[in-house]
Amino acid sequence: MTITITGFARVDKATSYTLTLSESGTNSAPTTMHLTATQTTATIRQTTTPSASGRFTLNLTARVGTWVSNTSLTQTLTCP
């Protein structure tokens, strides 16, 4: 699964963001990307498991220094 983010609204005080893509129902490690405070586009890829459900979870989390938001933008995606 490849996800391309073409833009998102930035958090005013964010110093960076963490983007994570994981496949539901597998033991596969999630793919994680670190974005800069000004970066609002990204492409993230997660290798799929043939026997898996084809369902993925995408999380975007703002960071302010060492503090990490406890509220992420979460999107569940299904691959046909």
Question: Closest Cα partner for 19 from 61, 57, 55?
Answer: 61
Confidence at residue 71, expressed as pLDDT on a 0 to 100 scale: 85
The contacts of residue 37 (CB under 8 Å, 6+ apart) are 10, 14, 15, 16, 17
- CATH node for 2-78: 2.60.40.10
Confidence at residue 51, expressed as pLDDT on a 0 to 100 scale: 62
What's the pTM?
A: 0.84
Neighbours of 69 (CB within 10 A): 15
Q: How far apart are CA 34 and CA 48, in angstroms?
A: 21
Q: How far apart are CA 35 and CA 52, in angstroms?
A: 28
Give the chain's residues under pLDDT 70: 49-52, 80
pLDDT digits (tens, 9 = 90+) for 5-23: 999 999 999 999 999 999 8
